[in-house]
Amino acid sequence: MVTATEAQHPAAVIEKLLVDPASHTIFPPLAMRVLTMASDPKASGKDLKEVIEVDPGLATRILKMANSAYYGIRQPVRSVERAVVMLGFGKVKAMVIGFVLSSTGKTEGLTFPEYGNFWRYAGAVACSARSVADRFAPNQREDAYLLGLIHEMGVLLMRDSLGKVYDDVLAEAVSQQRCLYEVEKQRLGITHAAAAKVVFEKWGFPPAQYAPIAHHHSDRISKVFGREENLMFRILRVAVYLGLLFENDQQRALYANKAFETARAEFRTELEDMRAIISNTAVEYRKLVQFLTGLEASADEFDAAAEKARQVLAAA
Ligand SMILES: [Fe+2]
């Protein structure tokens, strides 16, 4: 832990962040293996299967997912290996990370200024990013999903490294209804976006993952990054607003408009396309919530959010 005085120096915060990843208590060994695998282009379906099988709860969910009506298979899938092949490596990898981190991320009792639950929001942005990528960069769809899922991880990393100092920053942002990013800048001299970049870069994540995360609160990415980083950044920008649209029912109209405005600027998205992206996100997001909670989620809540957003955009 660092003291409040130390914490105001970004260098001291960075030093704490860059400790051995294994010492970040928010990540149990299983999560670390999955995270390491996520950044390893050589990781195979077999490696993934081995990680999944360590956790019976996770293995059951993957099988349940593969056997769900959505995939319309005739023969029941009984082995994890077969399920991984069927669902696709990218999809399972991202889902495993979501599952492992959501069940171990120690976010209980945390409240955020713009959204309620940390993992629901991360999931909403992940599904949004995949829907946007489906339209504009289909080859990047699973990377986009993973990017959405981990884009706020800096928050957990900072909290893990700074303890109460960071909890006070969070509480201040919530009580004063200020943007967390601004309070972090003022109190710590470093934001969760920059913190995530420092850590993910050290862990060997590719720039296409950490560069968009580093800039997810700005409207442009640094010029030092290339085409791929740029594309992922533009996808994440739209997805952040789409995710808020689903998770902040008070300001749904505001975020629906912001999502559309950003998509129009970044991808020249037409209204009809945007409406389709929103509907698709609602379907995918519901499936994710179902996967993470293991419970059947009713479509109503997701459909209602999507319908409201579509109406707002049509009226604008
Ligand atoms: Fe953020």
Q: Tokens in use for 210? A: 């950490």
Asked if 48 and 191 sit in the same domain, the reply is no
> For residue 231, what are the domain limits?
4-21+107-315
Asked if 92 and 68 sit in the same domain, the reply is yes
Q: Minimal CA–CA distance to 309: which of 259, 270, 268?
A: 259
Which segments of the chain does DSSP mark as H helices, in order?
4-7, 10-17, 29-38, 45-54, 56-66, 80-87, 89-104, 118-136, 141-150, 153-162, 164-175, 180-188, 192-202, 207-214, 227-247, 252-267, 271-293, 299-315
Asked if 175 and 54 sit in the same domain, the reply is no
192 C-alpha to ligand 1 centroid (Å): 7
Asked if 129 and 94 sit in the same domain, the reply is no
186 C-alpha to ligand 1 centroid (Å): 15
Q: What is the pLDDT of residue 64?
A: 82
216 C-alpha to ligand 1 centroid (Å): 6
Asked if 126 and 235 sit in the same domain, the reply is yes
Residue 112: Cβ within 10 Å count: 17
Asked if 173 and 310 sit in the same domain, the reply is yes
Asked if 12 and 70 sit in the same domain, the reply is no
Question: Is the separation of the CB atoms in 261 and 253 below 8 Å?
Answer: no
Asked if 78 and 150 sit in the same domain, the reply is no
Question: Is the separation of the CB atoms in 157 and 196 below 8 Å?
Answer: yes
Question: Is the separation of the CB atoms in 137 and 231 below 8 Å?
Answer: yes
| Total number of domains constituting the chain | 2
Which of 104, 126, 158 lies at the terminal end of a domain, its last residue?
104
76 C-alpha to ligand 1 centroid (Å): 40
Q: What is the pLDDT of residue 288?
A: 85
Which of 80, 104, 128 lies at the terminal end of a domain, its last residue?
104
Q: What is the pLDDT of residue 45?
A: 75
Q: What is the pLDDT of residue 8?
A: 62
State the residue for tokens 């993934």.
Answer: 48
Asked if 94 and 174 sit in the same domain, the reply is no
191 C-alpha to ligand 1 centroid (Å): 9
The span from the CA of 261 to the CA of 110, in Å, is: 30
Asked if 158 and 75 sit in the same domain, the reply is no
Which segments of 55-110 does DSSP mark as H helices, in order?
56-66, 80-87, 89-104
217 C-alpha to ligand 1 centroid (Å): 6
The span from the CA of 18 to the CA of 293, in Å, is: 32
Question: ∠ CA(136), CA(90), CA(81), 5° rounding?
Answer: 150
96 C-alpha to ligand 1 centroid (Å): 22
Asked if 180 and 100 sit in the same domain, the reply is no
Asked if 181 and 35 sit in the same domain, the reply is no
Of all residues in the chain, the percent with pLDDT exceeding 90 is 34
Q: What is the pLDDT of residue 79?
A: 87
Q: Is 26 strand, coil or helix?
A: coil
118 C-alpha to ligand 1 centroid (Å): 11
Per-residue burial over 163-184, b = 16 or more CB atoms within 10 Å of its CB, e = otherwise: eebbeebbebbbeeeeebbebb
Q: Minimal CA–CA distance to 150: which of 109, 110, 208?
A: 208
Residue 119: give its domain's CATH number.
1.10.3210.10
Per-residue burial over 255-275, b = 16 or more CB atoms within 10 Å of its CB, e = otherwise: bbbbbbebbeebbebeeebbb
End-to-end CA distance of the chain: 49
- Residue 208, φ and ψ in degrees, nearest 5: -65, -15
Q: What is the pLDDT of residue 163?
A: 83
Q: Minimal CA–CA distance to 229: which of 310, 294, 147, 136?
A: 147
Q: Tokens in use for 6? A: 């130390």
Residues (pLDDT < 70) of the chain are 1-8, 19-32, 35-36, 38-39, 69-73, 101-109
Question: Is the separation of the CB atoms in 214 and 198 below 8 Å?
Answer: no
111 C-alpha to ligand 1 centroid (Å): 14
Q: What is the pLDDT of residue 2?
A: 47
Q: Tokens in use for 45? A: 């379906």
Which of 63, 87, 104 lies at the terminal end of a domain, its last residue?
104
